[in-house]
Structure 1
Amino acid sequence: MTLIGRTADRGVTTLTLDSPANRNALSASLVGELRAALAACAADDTVRAVLLTHTGTTFCAGADLKAPPDPEAFVGLMREIVALPRPV
């Protein structure tokens, strides 16, 4: 099951958190997929900006307590968002 959707339009890549059953909580799987998607955006010269959005009623409920991400992976995700060479 894919937890991150990806679309592109006119240089803007939209990454969609797609785990509405747990209100898009940051599970280990979601964090891993989001990190991979951000890395792909950083490596793609056609990406001018990245937009984060969601499915369901909640953008992100925080950490998933049933399947939490490794703390280093979570911190890595935050750093990658800030350091991405395109606006997020």
Structure 2
Amino acid sequence: MSLTVSSPARGITTVTLDMPERRNALSAELVGALAEALGDLGADSATRAVLLTHTGPAFCSGADLKAPPDPAAFVALLRQI
């Protein structure tokens, strides 16, 4: 998977973008997983804060141009975040 969610520790849950070979490029799959994870964490009473981090040399290189999604659908996914 390209996204890792840790168990809350003292109210802080860490969400890690984990596709270093693609410089954590935002594919439709990754954005959907991130939106779902953040939605779930918003409903989790054990999580008071979310720390968004990454693996590899880049936090995020932007949109994944090797797997271009439908632009309107991609923007809709980004707005969910």
Q: TM-score range by the shorter chain?
A: 0.7 to 0.9
Q: Following the alignment from structure 1 to structure 2, what is the Cα–Cα distance between the partners of residues 20 and 68?
A: 18
Could you list the structure 1 runs, at least 4 aligned residues long, displaced by more than 6 angstroms after superposition: none
Q: RMSD of the alignment, in Å? A: 1.1
Does the 8 Å CA contact 1:13/1:47 hold for their aligned counterparts?
yes
* Pairs aligned (count): 76
Return 5+ residue gaps in structure 1 as ranges: 78-88
Give unpaired runs (5+ residues) of structure 2: none
1:83 corresponding residue in structure 2: none
Match of 1:85 in 2: none
Partner of 1:5: 4
What is residue 73 of structure 1 aligned with on the other side? 77
In 2, the alpha carbon distance for the partners of 1:75 and 1:65 equals 19
- Matches of 1:74 and 1:39 in 2, distance apart? 13
Under a length normalisation based on structure 2, what TM-score does the superposition of the two structures give?
A: 0.86
- Give, in whole Å, the separation in 1 of the partners of 2:68 and 2:15: 21
Percentage of identical aligned residues: 54
Deviation at 1:76, TM superposition (A): 2.4
